[in-house]
């Protein structure tokens, strides 16, 4: 992901605590479930997931190429996953021939790219005719607050803006669904606020204690707390109107 000479996520990948805890997060679990559910009925060909970092949302297929700007992130992913191919690549200039992927995935990536329209043109280019794109993205410009600044989002999207971007590059939306509701926005804003306080007062002082017995116990509790909270967040997304959704998913087909 072309965020800056040194991305926010590159900083995270160097923190062992982040690597241990990231894949337990409730919002990642729900995004992953939504993407895999959209693909489970498909006859899958070669899949491209752009900006996977250490947390890809498609893990049930061997015929997949993961890309990210972070070599460290891909090394961690390869060690953990041991399947698929791994390519260091910029989403705005993909190093692949045109028309070779049957399916592609952008999950929480476009908002990090300075030129998201160019990224979508590249994605459309490498898709086969009638190939499918699944994109998840942060919804509603009015939700842009501290957590967006923290992870260096360039933008959040209104639904009609994302639909327009897709159609402009020849991708026709065929389904739209809610992934996370307004509870997600409240939760992440509060979590980032608390994390900022911890960092400010240096409550976490040393990396040497990262895998201490305390950290292992904390990781276990964190994992199960997020699984329980994922149920609440899923329910929130189901009952909230789409206009209030914090994250949406669009499935689009290349014309």
Domain ranges of the chain: 8-254
Q: How many Å apart are CA 108 and CA 106, to the nearest integer?
A: 6
Given pLDDT bands bounded at 50, 70 and 90, which one contains residue 253?
Answer: very high
102 alpha carbon, distance to own chain's centre: 20
Given pLDDT bands bounded at 50, 70 and 90, which one contains residue 194?
Answer: confident
Q: Which two tokens mark 153?
A: 């989002």
Whose CA is closest to 27, among 197, 250, 187, 242?
187
How do 64-68 and 47-50 pair as beta strands?
parallel
8-254 CATH, one of 3.20.20.60, 3.20.20.80, 1.10.260.40, 3.40.50.150: 3.40.50.150
199 alpha carbon, distance to own chain's centre: 24
DSSP 242: G
Whose CA is closest to 35, among 22, 21, 47, 18?
47
Cβ contact 150:228 at 8 Å: no
Residue 213 has pLDDT above 80, yes or no: no
Q: Give the pLDDT confidence score for residue 211 in this predicted structure.
A: 56
Residue 205 has pLDDT above 90, yes or no: no
Given pLDDT bands bounded at 50, 70 and 90, which one contains residue 14?
Answer: low
Q: Which two tokens mark 216?
A: 């292992």
User: Using alpha carbons only, what angle is made at residue 29 by residues 3 and 254, rounded to the nearest 5 degrees?
Assistant: 65
Q: How many Å apart are CA 156 and CA 182, to the nearest integer?
A: 14
Whose CA is closest to 26, among 176, 228, 216, 220?
228
Given pLDDT bands bounded at 50, 70 and 90, which one contains residue 215?
Answer: confident
pLDDT tens figures, 68-110: 999 988 998 998 888 899 999 999 999 999 999 999 999 999 9
The predicted model scores a pTM of: 0.89
Whose CA is closest to 27, among 38, 16, 39, 35?
35
Cβ contact 103:39 at 8 Å: yes
How do 247-254 and 127-138 pair as beta strands?
antiparallel
What is the enclosing helix (H) or strand (E) of 174? strand 171-180
């Amino acid at each position: 992901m072309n965020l800056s000479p040194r991305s926010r996520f590159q900083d995270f990948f160097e923190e062992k605590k982040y690597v241990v805890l990231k894949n337990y997060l409730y919002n990642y679990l729900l995004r992953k479930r939504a993407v895999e559910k959209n693909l489970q009925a498909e006859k899958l060909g070669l899949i491209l997931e752009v900006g996977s970092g250490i947390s890809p949302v498609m893990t049930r297929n061997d015929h997949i190429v993961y890309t990210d700007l972070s070599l460290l992130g891909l090394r961690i992913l390869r060690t953990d996953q041991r399947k698929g191919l791994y390519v260091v690549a910029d989403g705005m200039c993909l190093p692949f021939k045109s028309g070779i992927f049957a399916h592609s995935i952008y999950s929480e990536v476009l908002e990090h790219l300075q030129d998201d329209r160019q990224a979508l043109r590249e994605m459309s280019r490498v898709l086969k005719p009638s190939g499918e794109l699944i994109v998840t993205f942060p919804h509603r410009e009015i939700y842009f607050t501290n957590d967006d600044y923290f992870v260096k989002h360039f933008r959040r999207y209104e639904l009609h803006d994302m639909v327009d971007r897709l159609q402009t590059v020849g991708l026709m939306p065929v389904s739209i669904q809610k992934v996370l509701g307004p509870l997600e926005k409240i939760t992440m804003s509060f979590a980032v606020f608390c994390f900022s306080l911890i960092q400010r007062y240096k409550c976490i002082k040393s990396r040497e204690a990262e895998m201490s017995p305390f950290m292992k116990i904390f990781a276990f509790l964190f994992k199960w707390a997020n699984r329980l909270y994922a149920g609440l967040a899923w329910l929130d997304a189901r009952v909230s109107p789409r206009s209030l959704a914090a994250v949406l998913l669009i499935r689009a087909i290349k014309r």
